[in-house]
Amino acid sequence: ERKQLKRLRREPSRTLDGVDIRLWANAESREDVAEAHALGAAGVGLYRTEFLFLGSSELPDEDAQFHAYRDLVLGMTGRTVTIRTLDLGADKADRTGLTLDYEPNPALGLRGVRLSLAREALFDTQMRAIVRASGYGPVRVLVPMLSSREEFVAVRARLQRVVDEVREAGFEVADAIPLGAMIEVPAAAIALPGFIRELDFLSIGTNDLVQYLLAADRNNDALGELYTPLHPAVLRLLRDVIRIARLRGKPVAVCGEMAGDATFVPLLLALGLEEFSLHPATLLEVRRAIRDCDLGGLRARAGALLRARDRASIEQWLRQAGIA
Ligand code: PEP
Ligand code: MG
């Protein structure tokens, strides 16, 4: 069984009817990056930078961050890496004094891009480090917890200014650094048609999207099955986001835990998804699931999936999809 899976390291993530699905890795440690590379990941689709800030009570300076990002870029030997700007706050509390000591409702508080935009020096330092790393290989920048067009436009302007400054200072900088957004706040998903033109790519954060859409804490075990992507509202929103992105020719991935669960592969393929970003630990299982899928058949059954009225009918659809 394990041996069979291992053989898939050098095989494409291709459906039975010949469509290549892109598998990116979620990676943060050196080990993750090495594993992602060895398993044939297309690149790193989500590099969470929080861990640089969570370990100690001191902030990492520009050089410390630059070294981490450069090592990531070099480790992937020319495959694209997607660096997410700081997503502190809520479940990612820090000891550096960056986040507020007390928030009545931290999940709805000053977190993600909101914190970055409120702490100018902090954000510029991180952007400079990322922009310097772009001189060593292809880098994309991903903005977490976006809730409005304005926030994205503000980040774009800051990035452009930092690029100009870093070039001016004599560092090598990539010709283009694509800037994309996490779609994980329901408002951003719903308002997307109004600002998708600003985005170079999208990554759907189902961990938070599910939490905010269903008003169900992602870390509260007491909620049991209330926290689940198998809800008709989640599927419809995913379908809408993926459809708009594809219509506009913008790359779109899912980077929440959902993308790393092989049982959900037929569902995500039926909704039109062609890029997954997941931890290397389950990459081969997901690849195997993809290789067992007939994409045409699944897309033909997307209507039935979207008509499902409850969790039981969605699970029924999944069972009929045949794998897992
Ligand atoms: C998500 O919200 O789905 C996500 C990928 O980001 P994080 O789990 O870091 O919040
Ligand atoms: Mg998130």
ipTM of the complex: 0.99
Is a pLDDT exceeding 90 seen at residue 92?
Answer: no
For atom 8 of ligand 1, the residue with the nearest CA is: 207
Q: CB under 6 Å to ligand 1: residues?
A: 46, 48, 87, 184, 205-208, 255-256
| Residues 281-290: tens digit of each pLDDT | 999 999 999 9
**What does the alpha-carbon distance between residue 262 and residue 324 come to, in Å, rounded to a whole number?**
7
**What does the alpha-carbon distance between residue 65 and residue 84 come to, in Å, rounded to a whole number?**
13
Measure the N-to-C terminal CA separation of the chain; round to a whole number of Å.
14
Contacts of 98 (CB under 8 A, 6+ apart): 53, 59, 88, 115, 119, 122
Ligand index nearest the alpha carbon of residue 253:
1
Among 81, 75, 70, residue whose Cα is nearest residue 136: 70
Closest ligand 1 atom to residue 205 Cα is 3
CA of 205 to the centre of ligand 1 (A): 5
Closest ligand 1 atom to residue 211 Cα is 2
CA of 169 to the centre of ligand 2 (A): 34
pLDDT at 55: 77
264: tokens are: 């959900």
CA of 130 to the centre of ligand 1 (A): 20
State pTM to two decimals: 0.97
For atom 9 of ligand 1, the residue with the nearest CA is: 48
Mean pLDDT value across the chain:
95
pLDDT at 95: 65
**Which of 24, 28, 32, 48 to mutate to test ligand 1, by most ligand atoms within 8 A of the CB atom?**
48
